[in-house]
Amino acid sequence: METLNLILDFAGTFVFALSGAMMGVRYKLDIFGVLVLSFAAANSGGILRDVLIGATPPRAIQDWRYLAVSLLAGLVTFFRYSKIDRLKSKLLLCDAVGLSLFAVAGANKALAFHLDPIPAIMLGMLTGIGGGMMRDLLVAEIPAVLRADFYALAALCGAAVVVVGNAWKLPSLPVSIAGGCLCFGLRYMAIRRNWRLPVADSDEGSPQGNLDPNHDKESG
């Protein structure tokens, strides 16, 4: 279980670090800002999970390899952004893979710390979506997971498969694969078919305002 969680963590870390670094480049951050965003996107969910279950200091801070993987992805994106950007559609799928890996790894780690099923499912979801939420907040965007995107629900379903399989005493590896495949499948179909969660009707305009990174550049 420990080796499986480590593999899932590193794979998810690299994928989400790419997404954080790409947003940093799009918002015209300097190289330090891009690296901060890549680390935040890759590790915030795992750090929050570890703090909540008492696994302190969090592995992403304790183990230098998490920082190394995040910085590598950030540097690759910073210096080769044009090539990375041409892979947008593939990176969107990679993001779905990262979500699946983190949701499964988060649920497995919560179970390893003997959490009850419902908290374990919630922490699996939080591990998957936490990095993306922190990434968006750092650039003053409403997190994508809160904008009717079929994202958190996919992570929730994947984590639930892991927890239910553990309750039924099924082998951890096949259950983790099944949970990851379900999460990825839901997210992939949402991307392909534009699945959205319902949004309440409102007569008022959008409160989001201007989130353009170049807004107020001249006045500043």
pLDDT tens digit sequence for 177-187: 999 999 999 99
- Which one has a higher pLDDT value, 219 or 89? 89
Phi, psi of 58 (to 5 degrees): -55, 145
Confidence of residue 213 (pLDDT cuts 50, 70, 90): very low
Q: Does 27 score more than 80 pLDDT? A: yes
- Which one has a higher pLDDT value, 207 or 138? 138
pLDDT at 95: 82
Tell me the average pLDDT of the chain.
86
Q: What is the largest CA-CA distance in the chain?
A: 62
pLDDT at 44: 94
pLDDT at 92: 79
The residue assigned the tokens 């801070």 is 61
Q: Does 216 score more than 60 pLDDT? A: no
- For residues 180-209, give the mean pLDDT: 80
Give CA–CA dist 41/150, Å, rounded.
18
- For residues 38-65, give the mean pLDDT: 93
Rounded percentage of the chain residues whose pLDDT exceeds 70: 89
pTM of the full predicted structure? 0.82
The residue assigned the tokens 């795992």 is 46
pLDDT digits (tens, 9 = 90+) for 107-148: 999 999 999 999 999 999 999 999 989 999 999 998 888 876
Q: Which residues of 170-193 are buried (b: 16+ CB within 10 A; e: fewer)?
A: eebeebbbbbbebbbebbbebbee
Confidence of residue 191 (pLDDT cuts 50, 70, 90): confident
- For residues 173-195, give the mean pLDDT: 92
Rounded percentage of the chain residues whose pLDDT exceeds 90: 58
Give CA–CA dist 135/205, Å, rounded.
25
